[in-house]
Amino acid sequence: MDNDKLSLVARSKNRRKIIFVLESNKMPSQLKKELKLEDSNVARALRELQKAGLIRCITGSAKMGRIYQLTNEGREIRKELIAMNLQNNIAQ
**Domain parsing of the chain, residue ranges:** 3-84
- pLDDT at position 72, please? 96
Q: Is 2.30.42.10 the CATH number for 3-84? A: no
CB burial of residue 67 (10 Å; 0-12, 13-18, 19+): middle
pTM: predicted TM-score of the whole model, two decimal places: 0.90
Tens of pLDDT along 15-63? Answer: 999 999 998 999 999 999 999 999 999 999 999 999 999 999 999 887 8
Q: Mean of the pLDDT values across residues 61-86?
A: 91
Q: Report how far apart, in Å, the C-alpha atoms of 27 and of each of 4, 82, 85 are.
A: 26, 23, 26
